[in-house]
Amino acid sequence: MANLVACQLVSSPDVSVNLKQVEDFIAQQNAGDLVVLPECFACFGAGDAALLSITEELDEGPIQCALSAMAAKYKVWLVAGTIPLSTIKSGKYTASCLVFDDAGRRVDEYQKIHLFDVEVEDGTRNYLESKYTQAGEKVVVVDSPFGKIGVAVCYDVRFAGMFVAMGDIDVLVLPSAFTRTTGKAHWEPLLKARAIEKQCYLVAANQGGVHANGRETYGHSCVISPWGETLSEIATGTGTAKAKFEPSEISRIRTNMPVQQHNQFRSYLV
Question: Among this protein's residues, is 112 annotated catalytic?
Answer: yes
Cα–Cα distance, 55 to 75 (Å, whole number):
26
Strand runs (DSSP E) across 66-177, as ranges? Answer: 77-86, 93-100, 106-111, 117-119, 126-128, 140-144, 147-151, 171-176
Question: Among this protein's residues, is 92 annotated catalytic?
Answer: no
- Provide CB contacts within 8 A for 74, sequence distance 6+: 26, 27, 29, 31
pTM of the model: 0.96
Cα–Cα distance, 133 to 112 (Å, whole number):
9
Cα–Cα distance, 243 to 201 (Å, whole number):
10
Among 164, 199, 158, 198, which residue's Cα sits nearest to residue 178? 158
Q: Where are the domains of the chain?
A: 3-268
Catalytic residue among 39, 56, 216, 233: 39
**What crossing angle do the helices spanning 15-27 and 62-74 adopt, rounded to 10°?**
10
**Measured between alpha carbons, how far is residue 56 from residues 97, 105, 268 in Å?**
13, 17, 37
CATH number of 3-268: 3.60.110.10
Cβ atoms within 10 A of the Cβ of 269, count? 12
Q: By 3-state DSSP, what share of the chain in percent is helix, strand and coil, each rounded to 5? A: 30, 30, 40
Catalytic residue among 7, 40, 43, 154: 154
Question: pLDDT (tens digit, 0 to 9) for every residue of the chain, 270 residues total?
Answer: 899 999 999 999 999 999 999 999 999 999 999 999 999 999 999 877 789 999 999 999 999 999 999 999 999 999 999 999 999 877 899 999 999 999 999 999 999 999 999 999 888 888 999 999 999 999 999 999 999 999 999 999 999 999 999 999 999 999 999 999 999 999 999 999 999 999 999 999 999 999 999 999 999 999 999 999 999 999 999 999 999 999 999 999 999 999 999 988 865 554
Catalytic residue among 43, 109, 112, 242: 112
Question: Among this protein's residues, is 154 annotated catalytic?
Answer: yes
